[in-house]
Structure 1
Amino acid sequence: MTESVSRARPNLLANWLFAVAALVVIIVTVGGITRLTESGLSITEWKPLLGALPPMSEADWQAEFGLYKQIPEYTQINGPAGMDLEAFKSIYWWEWIHRQLGRLIGLALAVPLAIFAVRRIIPQGYFWRLFALVALVGLQGSFGWWMVASGLETRTDVSHFRLAIHLCTALILLGGLIWTALDLKALAKGDTTPARLRPVATWTGIILFVQLLLGAWVAGLNAGLASDSWPLMQGRFLPEFDSSRGLFWALTHDPFLIHWMHRWWAWVAVTALVLMARKVKPVNRKASLAIHAAFGTQILLGIATVMSGVEFHLAVLHQLVGALLVAAYAWGAHALGRSE
């Protein structure tokens, strides 16, 4: 039996999960950098164990560069542009760091979980919840390679659908880590009843998920470059877009229409978050303030990113604050779930 009540250490486990959640925020941010620097396809093989080591010699670097030279991104874009080995190294390192962070998160969850299980300090009812978080990290790694694989044969970029799955899974993991940590914190204070997801938090979560999905599509299609003006696009409210292959195709593929949906669905998300934060305020004022601060900052960063033509630092901050918004939402939803 891996669970115990008498030897349980819920505070220890909660702090562990908060630390892993911080690593997830970091990897989401680095993932944004990887996307903005077009680094994601620089490592063309998936080696879960041996891939932890970077090239150690000039011959190793030439071999890695040789593999990259075989994919469409190089043959059609970077090769004709004159990419040399030094330029390749600059994108390789970002992808390598991104993958090492993924490995670190997996180890930071799996190894302590095994130790805590052996020592029987996991509270009753929590082992399988924690195991599910470990499994989600493994699934996330698989999604990451599945995403990369989409850009290795015929495309010059990864599939924006697979990128969205990869990013949204990371954000779901982040929310799950925070929610479980907060349940453990409450357990440490004597409250043995896990929080429930209230209807207002459910609907807000769905609306926020749609916005995050659209944001991932914007990133995957480089749709942030579709307009550098706000609030209008191309001098009009609704921009011109390609509807020749049907409206559904345009809603899921056209960068101008997806950019437009992302910028205006944001206000639906803000409305939902404001309503939720108002309900959170009486039970946890700090969580309510965190939600307001996160979405307010995110809106300003989104507008600034558009108007700057997707300036690198602004775009990275936009992704970082998006992750923090998910964390704030999870905090607020959990606070509501513990209220009567």
Structure 2
Amino acid sequence: MTPLQQLEVPSSPEVRFPLPAASIGINRKASRFTDTVPQFGSATAKPQRTIRIALAGCGVVGSGLVRLLHNSAAAIASRFGVRFAITSVLVRDTTRDRRVPIDSRVFTNDLESFLAHDADVVIEAVGGEEPARTIAISALRRGSKLITANKELIAAHGESLDELANLHRTGLDFGAAVGGSAPVISTLRDLVGASAPRSVRGILNGTSNFVITQLERGAKLESALELACARGLAEADFTRDFDGCDAAAKLSIIAWIAFGIRPSALQLRRISLVPGLEQLTRIAVSRGGRLRLIAECTPPSSP
């Protein structure tokens, strides 16, 4: 299937995210540390503590994180007096050469074995709802801090996972689920305690933005999609980038944090850009405008 064929999906006027009710606050608890876990990376200063990390998924995101921790090991140890040790990595294929600076013996394709592994922090980077939800629930019940950038997981189960984190006095961090490295969630959380926003409006999907820009410059849709994939901008199922599902998931998380609107109660109207993306782009340009996928949310009580 070509990238263009993958985008041939029907549009849907509405998408909803049923979730159980729970509190919005994210509790944070200091992780448990130990000096007995094997460490990776070099450091010029002797760390005082070791943080054990269990990593679920070692694709583009997971492997990138491993390299970042390895390359930053000396600076982290010197500045904070800690060292991160990746002690378990869940993958589909343990024989694949992933070219990451950790011992291959920590890789496992056994979910049960991974869930039983004791870690201070569990990082979920597998994407989708399952087995991500199972991994998240297991980690929080064991008292491990959970870090995830999985917008589908948080949009569908964020409230219940937050409630579980509160119950077990641990932390749930999903700041990267919206905006990547941009501090969208933390900024909104800070605003809620001071001057809450009256509405939220913006571009929440970078892939569609990139592809449309290429179309505006004269590129064909398939070549623009291939370029996005080559640059690591598109996910495995990038239909969600153009049918509004990705932006809808992010918007439901934003509405939850900014306005306290339970995603199960949020009414979302979703407009798909496909099929017809090239034609829509040409029409916008001919009228002196630019086509963009805009996400917007306003609380019912706002003017």
The TM-score with structure 2 as length reference comes to 0.24
User: 1 or 2, which has the higher strand percentage?
Assistant: 2
The TM-score with structure 1 as length reference comes to 0.23
User: 1 or 2, which has the higher helix percentage?
Assistant: 1
